[in-house]
Chain A
Amino acid sequence: MSLLSTHGLTAHYGQFQALFGVDITLEPGECVAIIGANGAGKTTLLRALSGILKSDAGAIRFNNEAVGDRPADEILRRGIAMVPEGRKLFPSLSVEENLLIGAHARKVPGPWSLEAIYALFPILRERRNSPGTALSGGQQQMVAIGRALMSNPAVMLCDEISLGLAPVVIRDIYNALPHIRSGGAALIIVEQDIGQALKVADRVYCMMEGRVTLSGAAGDLSREAIHNAYFGAAA
Chain B
Amino acid sequence: MNWLDTIVQGILLGGLYALFATGLSLVFGIMRLVNLAHGDLIVLGAYLILLIVSLLGISPFLAALIALPLMFGLGFVLQKVVLNRVLGEDILPPLLVTFGISVVVQNALLQGASADTRRLPTGDIGVASVNLGAVTVGVLPVLTFASAVLVIIILNQVFYRTALGRAFRATSDDPVTASLMGIKPKTVFAQATGIAMMIVTIAALYLGMRANFDPAVGPARLVYAFEAVIIGGLGSLWGTLAGGIIIGLAQTLGAAINPEWQILSGHVAFLLVLLFKPRGLFPRAVD
Residues of A within 8 A of B (CB): 50-52, 71-73, 76-77, 81-82, 84, 88, 90-93, 97, 100-102, 104-106, 147, 151
Size bracket, chain B contacts:
20 to 34
Inter-chain contact A101/B166, CB cutoff 8 Å? yes
A110 to B170, CA, bound (A): 24
Q: Do A84 and B180 form a contact, CB below 8 Å, given A91-B286, A92-B286, A104-B163?
A: yes
Residues of A within 8 A of B170 (CB): 90, 92-93, 101, 104
Inter-chain contact B174/A90, CB cutoff 8 Å? yes
Q: Do A82 and B180 form a contact, CB below 8 Å, given A90-B174, A92-B286?
A: yes
Interface 0/1 of B155-186, CB less than 8 Å to A? 00000000100110110111011111111100
Residues of A within 8 A of B183 (CB): 73, 101, 104-105
Residues of B within 8 A of A73 (CB): 179-184
Contact of A92 among B172, B177, B179, B180 (CB under 8 A): B172
A71 to B286, CA, bound (A): 27
Contact of A93 among B173, B176, B179 (CB under 8 A): B173
Inter-chain contact A76/B163, CB cutoff 8 Å? no
Inter-chain contact A100/B163, CB cutoff 8 Å? yes
Interface of B is mostly: helix
A182 to B179, CA, bound (A): 27
A30 to B286, CA, bound (A): 40
A77 to B163, CA, bound (A): 16
A151 to B179, CA, bound (A): 13
Inter-chain contact A90/B180, CB cutoff 8 Å? no
Residues of B within 8 A of A52 (CB): 176, 179-180
Given A76-B181, A90-B178, A92-B172: 20 more A-B contacts, CB < 8 Å: A52-B179, A71-B184, A72-B176, A73-B183, A82-B180, A84-B177, A90-B169, A90-B173, A92-B170, A92-B173, A93-B166, A93-B169, A97-B166, A97-B169, A101-B167, A102-B181, A104-B170, A104-B181, A105-B183, A151-B182
A168 to B179, CA, bound (A): 32
Shortest C-beta distance, A145 to chain B (Å), equals 13
Most buried by B among A50, A84, A88, A101: A101
Considering only CB atoms, which chain B residue lies closest to A88 in the complex? B177
A100 to B183, CA, bound (A): 13
Considering only CB atoms, which chain A residue lies closest to B171 in the complex? A90
Most buried by A among B172, B173, B177: B177
Inter-chain contact B173/A147, CB cutoff 8 Å? no
Interface 0/1 of B91-120, CB less than 8 Å to A? 000000000000000000000000000000
Residues of B within 8 A of A92 (CB): 169-170, 172-173, 284-286
Residues of B within 8 A of A (CB): 163, 166-167, 169-170, 172-174, 176-184, 284-286
Contact of B177 among A90, A100, A104, A106 (CB under 8 A): A90
Considering only CB atoms, which chain A residue lies closest to B172 in the complex? A92
A104 to B183, CA, bound (A): 7
Most buried by A among B166, B173, B174, B181: B181
Residues of A within 8 A of B179 (CB): 51-52, 71-73, 76
Residues of B within 8 A of A90 (CB): 169-170, 173-174, 177-178
A91 to B235, CA, bound (A): 15
Inter-chain contact A104/B180, CB cutoff 8 Å? no
Shortest C-beta distance, A157 to chain B (Å), equals 9
Q: Do A50 and B180 form a contact, CB below 8 Å, given A90-B174, A92-B172, A93-B173?
A: yes
Shortest C-beta distance, A184 to chain B (Å), equals 19
A92 to B29, CA, bound (A): 12
Supply 24 A–B pairs (Cβ within 8 Å), ascending by A: A71-B184, A72-B179, A73-B180, A73-B181, A73-B182, A73-B184, A76-B179, A81-B180, A82-B180, A88-B177, A88-B180, A91-B286, A92-B169, A92-B172, A92-B284, A93-B169, A100-B166, A101-B170, A101-B181, A104-B166, A104-B170, A104-B181, A105-B181, A105-B183
Residues of A within 8 A of B169 (CB): 90, 92-93, 97
Shortest C-beta distance, A177 to chain B (Å), equals 20
Residues of A within 8 A of B180 (CB): 50, 52, 72-73, 76, 81-82, 84, 88
Residues of A within 8 A of B284 (CB): 92
Residues of B within 8 A of A51 (CB): 179
